[in-house]
Amino acid sequence: MSYLYKDGAFQSDKWLTIDGDQPVPEGEDVIVSLTLFEEHQHALLTRNSGRLGVHLEAAEQLDAIVPHLDKFDVVSLDFPTFADGRAFSKARWLRDQHGYAGEVRAVGDVRIDQVSHMKRCGIDALLVTHQQTIDSLTDIKDPGLQLYYQPSAIDGETKAGGRAWARRA
């Protein structure tokens, strides 16, 4: 079971993830795979009701969804393993290059020790299954550092120290 963490709290996930060839129900908020989106692009973009999100596997690129970003309320990025960091760059691109303002969600092997990095790359929602990560988030025990040597994709960090690139949470 996975749980959605957003805006500093766990909350119920209103989004339905569509697996494989499952039909897309009218009226529901759905997250579809990139394959499904590419195959049924027109139908998905012209649904009468229900919001749309898209999920990218780690090896899938942003190119195909970029022209339609304004149609997606959620972009979900897969972290298949702790060591696979591709989605960090994708999140940065969505925020910095494309000015994407919707939800960017981390899905997969989401661990507390990466949460700070995820936030700083512009990820604002986590789908968590790992129990210790759930506990740490509940107890607000983020082991991430509060001082940074890089400007990041998120608001709320202030300039720190004497250098242009230093920031404080």
Q: Where does this chain bind other proteins (CB under 8 A)?
A: 58, 61, 82-86, 88-90, 92-93, 96-97, 111, 113-114, 116-118, 120-121, 132, 143-152, 160-166
Nearest approach, Cβ of residue 56 and other proteins (Å): 11
* DSSP secondary structure code for residue 69 in this structure: G
Q: Which tokens belong to 37?
A: 């989106």
Report in angstroms how near the CB of residue 35 gets to other proteins at its nearest.
20
Between 76 and 152, whose beta carbon lies closer to other proteins? 152
- State how far the Cα of 136 lies from the Cα of 111, in Å rounded to an integer: 10
Would you mind telling me the total number of residues written for the chain in this entry?
169
Closest CB 118 distance from other proteins, rounded Å? 8
Look at the alpha carbons of 117, 123, 129, 132 in this order and tell me if their dihedral is positive or negative: positive
Residue whose C-alpha is closest to residue 53's, from 11, 16, 96: 16
* Beta carbon nearer to other proteins, 47 or 130: 130
Q: Which is nearer to other proteins, 22 or 146 (CB)?
A: 146
Q: Which is nearer to other proteins, 28 or 84 (CB)?
A: 84
Our CB check for other proteins shows the closer of 66 and 145 to be: 145
Residue 118: φ, ψ to 5°: -60, -50
The closest alpha carbon to 129, from 7, 1, 23, belongs to: 1
Minimum CB distance to other proteins, residue 17 (Å): 24
Least distance to other proteins from the beta carbon of 53, Å? 21
Per DSSP, 94 falls in state: I
- For 159, other C-beta atoms within 10 Å of its C-beta total 12
